[in-house]
Amino acid sequence: VSEAFLDTLAAIVGPAHVLCQPADMLPFLTDWRGQRRGSALAVVRPGQMTEVAAVLRAAGAAGVAVLPQGGNTGLAYGTLDTGPGQRIILSLGRMDRIRALDPVGLTMEVEAGCILHTVRQAALAAGRQFPVSLAAEGSATIGGIIAANAGGVNVLRHGMTRALVLGLEVVLADGTVLHGLRALRKDNAGYDWKHWFIGSEGTLGVVTAATLRLLPRPRHTMVALLAVADPAAALALLVLAQEELGDAISAFELMAGSSLALVERHFGLAAPIAPAPWFVLMEAQASLPGLAEATDSVLATALERGHAGDGVVAASDAQAQRLWSLREHITLAEAREGASIKHDIAVPVPAMPGFLAEASAAVERAFPGARLNPFGHLGDGNIHFNVLAPPGTDAAAVNDLVHGLVIASGGSISAEHGIGRYRKAALLAMRSPAEIAMMARLRAALDPGGVLNPGAVFD
């Protein structure tokens, strides 16, 4: 690719926004753990949608691939490529404006590069909430969570990102702009095409802005940490809590005792209750009064029935935050502990205790010295079944073992992190040839030149 192509990019976005020096590009080409490095001709940082369209047209004409990127917190190496061909990273970070917030219609229009935490704070400041919440929300962007259809800790009540997107503005590979920033709750006029792009991991179009669905900000929040004997007891607790509190239960996280031990070792954060084999972190939210009393009654019943052994309820926002920070530090503590083999699996909720017992025993038997760090969203049937394996362990063999059990349980090998470049082989193992062929036809129809993120999701 000639200097002329880079000059064209500079003319579109401004020379300051085309990064070509290795040191400048490094943060965009390295995953958050520093384990994987990609390569690119340049990192291009458009400031508006028309610039995105012009960059895509120029790249298509030059035969250069375009890898859209938000906060680069994705866990599936979605934009880290070293394969043949030339590519640029299209970083949406400069497009970070909140354009409008409608507290009556409960909607918010934001640009793709807006940081998730900023969006959440803006909603709270207006007495509303945007419930997608995850440990990387200080860096993850709205475009990234949409392209990944991110989950997070509030899926139990509010669904995945898909459930919270009302409209999208998307630029296709040939520069065509789809203006779909509609703020309607009901709109069955033709195909609801926004869903093609939600979860498409940058392979079908570039999301440049979104209309998000907000909710009223709840008046009361309850956060509790409970010690449980095993995942079956945690599930019994979930059933009880849902029977008593209904859909007020917004988060129900399971954490192995070994996970919290890692958090204490690496960050000095300790659970305010005695060590236990497993813990549940539970959050409920409501605007009507009575949540505290209802929670007390659930906890009393749980202790009486033996679902939980010990527990603590946060008495202030600061205490609630301290409990949540235990959960939020697990991934970071795991990274500090060393290399790990990750599995973002889903199985039907009732199957989770059986799966965890079987998979744990199988991994420990087949890979002596492996330590398990399972934690995650039990209420959604999604656990991060991570394995801290001794050096030299065959990661592919661990993956095969775990994923085989997941598929046998009727589950998914990617609950919320997507496929990226990390799980392509596993995707082929769990989707039929007919489904893959249909996805390939959709991709070819929207991007016949193969400009957008080639090498991601499937080849």
Residue 373 interacts with ligand FAD (CB under 6 A): yes or no? no
Write out the binding residues for ligand FAD, residues 151-190 only, by CB under 6 A.
151-152
What's the rounded Cα separation, in Å, for the pair 40 and 85?
Answer: 10
Q: Minimum CB separation from ligand FAD for residue 451, in Å?
A: 12
Pick from 38, 202, 311, 455 the residue near ligand FAD by CB under 6 A: 202
- Hey, what are 426's tokens? 């596993």
What's the rounded Cα separation, in Å, for the pair 78 and 409?
Answer: 27
Q: Which residues pair with residue 178 across a beta bridge? A: 170
Q: Of 112 and 308, which has the nearer Cβ to ligand FAD?
A: 112
Pick from 43, 53, 58, 207 the residue near ligand FAD by CB under 6 A: 207
Which residue is nearest to ligand FAD, using beta carbons? 144
Q: Minimum CB separation from ligand FAD for residue 425, in Å?
A: 17
Among residues 168, 108, 164, 114, the alpha carbon closest in space to that of 139 is found at 114
Q: Minimum CB separation from ligand FAD for residue 78, in Å?
A: 3
- Reduced to 3 states, what is the DSSP secondary structure of residue 311? strand
| Count of residues making up the chain | 459
Pick from 64, 198, 206, 233 the residue near ligand FAD by CB under 6 A: 206
Among residues 175, 179, 137, the alpha carbon closest in space to that of 154 is found at 137
Q: Of 192 and 296, which has the nearer Cβ to ligand FAD?
A: 192
Write out the binding residues for ligand FAD, residues 320-359 only, by CB under 6 A.
331
Burial class (CB in 10 A: 0-12, 13-18, 19+), 94: middle
- Reduced to 3 states, what is the DSSP secondary structure of residue 372? strand
Q: Of 70 and 167, which has the nearer Cβ to ligand FAD?
A: 70
Q: Of 420 and 454, which has the nearer Cβ to ligand FAD?
A: 420
Q: Angle formed by the axes of helices 330-337 and 317-328, to 10°?
A: 40
Residue 148 interacts with ligand FAD (CB under 6 A): yes or no? yes
Q: Of 161 and 409, which has the nearer Cβ to ligand FAD?
A: 161
Write out the binding residues for ligand FAD, residues 260-279 only, by CB under 6 A.
none
- Reduced to 3 states, what is the DSSP secondary structure of residue 377? strand
What's the rounded Cα separation, in Å, for the pair 276 and 225?
Answer: 11
Q: Minimum CB separation from ligand FAD for residue 168, in Å?
A: 9
Write out the binding residues for ligand FAD, residues 49-88 only, by CB under 6 A.
67-75, 78-79
C-alpha separations of 318 from 119, 314, 323, 325, 339 in Å: 21, 8, 9, 10, 32
Q: Of 74 and 454, which has the nearer Cβ to ligand FAD?
A: 74
Give the burial string for 54-86 (b: 16+ CB within 10 Å, else e).
bbbbbbbebebbbbbbbbbbbbbbbbbbeeeee
- Look up tokens 């919320």; give the residue: 416
- Hey, what are 370's tokens? 């492996």
Q: Of 31 and 238, which has the nearer Cβ to ligand FAD?
A: 31
Do 79 and 57 touch, CB atoms closer than 8 A? no
Beta strands at 87-91 and 65-69: parallel, antiparallel or unpaired: parallel
Among residues 406, 414, 422, 417, the alpha carbon closest in space to that of 457 is found at 422
Residue 136 interacts with ligand FAD (CB under 6 A): yes or no? yes
What's the rounded Cα separation, in Å, for the pair 42 and 26?
Answer: 11
Which range binds ligand FAD by CB under 6 A, 136-144, 216-224, 235-243, 312-320?
A: 136-144
Q: Of 307 and 421, which has the nearer Cβ to ligand FAD?
A: 421
Q: Of 65 and 286, which has the nearer Cβ to ligand FAD?
A: 65
Q: Minimum CB separation from ligand FAD for residue 71, in Å?
A: 3
Q: Minimum CB separation from ligand FAD for residue 137, in Å?
A: 8
- Order the strands of the 165-171 sheet from edge to edge: 98-102, 107-111, 206-213, 165-171, 177-180
Pick from 60, 143, 353, 379 the residue near ligand FAD by CB under 6 A: 143
Write out the binding residues for ligand FAD, residues 387-416 only, by CB under 6 A.
416
Q: Minimum CB separation from ligand FAD for residue 417, in Å?
A: 6
Q: Minimum CB separation from ligand FAD for residue 28, in Å?
A: 9
Q: Minimum CB separation from ligand FAD for residue 297, in Å?
A: 30
Among residues 381, 435, 133, the alpha carbon closest in space to that of 238 is found at 381
CB within 8 Å of 422: residues ≥ 6 apart: 75, 76, 77
Q: Minimum CB separation from ligand FAD for residue 361, in Å?
A: 26
What's the rounded Cα separation, in Å, for the pair 442 and 174?
Answer: 15
Among residues 261, 455, 225, 205, the alpha carbon closest in space to that of 374 is found at 261
Which range binds ligand FAD by CB under 6 A, 117-125, 132-140, 174-182, 425-433?
A: 132-140
Residues near ligand FAD, by CB under 6 A: 32, 67-75, 78-79, 92, 112, 134-136, 140-141, 143-145, 147-148, 150-152, 201-202, 206-207, 331, 416-417, 420, 453, 456
